[in-house]
Amino acid sequence: MAALHPQCGGASSTARRVRCRAASRTIAAAAATATSTACSPVEAAAPAPRRAPARRSTAATVAGMWRQVQGCNDWEGLIDPVAGEVHPVLRAEVARYGDLVSPCYKAFDLDPSSRRHLNCKYGRERMLDEVGMPGAGYVITRYIYAAADVTFPTMEPSTAGRGRWIGYVAVSTDDMTRRLGRRDVLVSFRGTVTPAEWVANLMSSLEPARFDPCDPRPDVKVESGFLSLYTSADKTCRFGGAGSCREQLLREVSRLVDACGKDRPGEDVSVTLAGHSMGSALALLFAYDLAELGLNQHGLNRDASGCRVPVTVFSYGGPRVGNSAFKDRCDELGVKVLRVANVRDPVTMLPGAILNEGTKGFLAGWGATGDCYTHVGVELALDFLSLRDPGSVHDLGAYVASVKAEACGKVPNAAEDGGILAMAMELVGGQSAAASAWKEIAALQMGGLVQSLGF
């Protein structure tokens, strides 16, 4: 049974945890004049002071407050940690972006006999229609592939080093752009499905990201398995997935943002990265990469107000990605992350089961050394559980259903409403959602133990 989190506690130094309650309650919303005011680069980089609660306007729209929805003020005024309420416009956008991740599972071809094995079942032009989202409001411009640099004894030689379809890049249509108040460049990532990705989850040792060759920052470290998926190149170049996931993303997103600046001068632009589970880790790595390289700051990438193009991550059931230096650097660069996390989902607590932001001080007191995994961003906590399907605590469908149910005061049954992970894993070998989810959890847990022990 799904429920709302009864008590989330106070805010920590690394993330704010809030509770979701029925949207019919009053929310501490931004003042009406603030919803139409763009955030300056300085505002985007610095935390905003706590604003006095104000009754939400019934006329509030995403177009009128899109910068706040994208986190320019760290969602202050849209999320009330005291009353546990979320602005309905933000809630709707969180659900919408979650829905836009689901095609990455629904369209993934896991049939070994198919010529599109490990690719998307459909062409870009009709993929959203085929998965039941004809009115999504986005045009897909490129599919993205990731290849884990891992092998194991049972892996077929034909699949070693091959890129797997991991997600897509899209840009909002003119109609959706008018509704959103800006041109939105979207990157959507799925979570772990293939055996190579399970193995990559075991590689939880921390290593320097080193994305900027001019300023490698060796202290900024991320999980090696996620880094491998992000930076390893496809050795087969099948389906046009040339280069690493990173190279594909940098080329396409830079192209789209530059094109928006040239073809539509004065139009506001945003870059939104949405991912589930492992996909949320890739989304965060890409957001950090964009910000570290300054690709969200150069001349053509400034909107009508002269602000930087905002880069925002909507994470669903995401694990920890890097150490405290990584978190601090993301904050310094103004990377905005809204972490939608089920408090019963163990994946959100990994890796770093022992060495994490909560135990760092305690371990330091005992003279323990080593890097501690640390979450990035603002946490929006949900609480749902189905006794019939325990694995659904990590299911994307259950996450989205829970967010949507809050808008109408209902409590979803995760076993009925969240079946995306179960569907994907049935294609692998008839595994239930519970078996597949706990497989990922076990991999992350074992990797976290290896990291903690220093092996």
User: pLDDT by residue (tens digit) across 316-329?
Assistant: 999 999 999 999 99
What are the structure tokens assigned to 423, written together? 């569907």
From the candidates 315, 394, 395, 436, which is the catalytic residue?
394
Examine the residue annotation and report whether 436 is marked as an active-site residue of this protein. no
Map residue 322 onto helix, strand or coil.
Answer: strand
Q: What digits encode the pLDDT tens for the residues 99-147?
A: 999 999 999 999 999 999 889 999 999 999 999 999 999 999 999 999 8
Place of tokens 């490698």: 216
Task: Identify the pLDDT of residue 306.
Answer: 52
From the candidates 345, 383, 395, 417, which is the catalytic residue?
345
Pairing state of beta strands 322-323 and 373-374?
antiparallel
Residue 418 predicted with pLDDT over 60: no
Q: What would the CATH number be for the domain defined by 38-46+56-72+98-381+433-453? A: 3.40.50.1820
Lowest-pLDDT range, 35-49, 258-272, 333-347, 430-444? 35-49
* Residue 114, amino acid: S
Q: What digits encode the pLDDT tens for the residues 376-397?
A: 999 998 988 888 888 889 999 9
Q: Which residue has the higher pLDDT, 333 or 204?
A: 333
CB count, 10 Å around CB of 63?
Answer: 17
- What is the SS3 assignment for 147-215? CCCCCCCCCCHHHCCCCEEEEEEEEECHHHHHHHCCEEEEEEECCCCCHHHHHHHHCCCEEECCCCCCC
Residue 5 predicted with pLDDT over 50: no
**Among 288, 45, 79, 70, CA closest to 185:** 70
**Among 447, 423, 443, CA closest to 105:** 423
From the candidates 204, 228, 232, 277, which is the catalytic residue?
277
Name the burial class of residue 16, with classes exposed (0-12), middle (13-18) and buried (19+) by CB atoms within 10 angstroms of its CB.
buried
pLDDT band at 410, cuts 50/70/90? very low
Q: Which residue has the higher pLDDT, 235 or 399?
A: 399
Q: Which residue has the higher pLDDT, 434 or 361?
A: 361
Q: Which residue has the higher pLDDT, 40 or 126?
A: 126
Q: What is the DSSP string of 334-361?
A: T-EEEEEEETT-GGGG-S-SSSBTTTHH
What are the structure tokens assigned to 213, written together? 């060759």
Task: Identify the pLDDT of residue 23.
Answer: 33
Which of the 8 DSSP states describes residue 14?
S
Task: Identify the pLDDT of residue 98.
Answer: 98
Please, what is the angle between helix 195-202 and helix 224-231, to 10°?
Answer: 140
Q: What digits encode the pLDDT tens for the residues 247-264?
A: 999 999 999 998 988 888
Bridge partners of 269? Answer: 183
**8 A C-beta contact, residue 81 and residue 11:** yes
Is cis: bond before 351, omega within 30 of 0? yes
Q: Please give the angle made by the CA atoms of 340, 375 and 425, to the nearest 5 degrees.
A: 55
Domain boundaries, the chain: 38-46+56-72+98-381+433-453
Q: What does the alpha-carbon distance between residue 91 and residue 25 come to, in Å, rounded to a whole number?
A: 13
Q: Which residue has the higher pLDDT, 232 or 357?
A: 232
Examine the residue annotation and report whether 215 is marked as an active-site residue of this protein. no
For the four alpha carbons of 432, 435, 441 and 446, in that order, the dihedral sign comes to: negative
Task: Label residues 342-354 b or e (16+ Cβ within 10 Å = b).
Answer: bbbbbbbbbbbbb
Mean pLDDT of the region 443-454: 46
**pTM passes above 0.85:** no
Pairing state of beta strands 311-316 and 206-208?
unpaired
Q: What digits encode the pLDDT tens for the residues 57-108?
A: 446 899 999 999 999 999 998 987 667 689 999 999 999 999 999 999 999 9
Residue 52 predicted with pLDDT over 60: no
Examine the residue annotation and report whether 345 is marked as an active-site residue of this protein. yes
Q: What digits encode the pLDDT tens for the residues 169-204?
A: 999 999 999 999 999 999 999 998 887 787 777 777
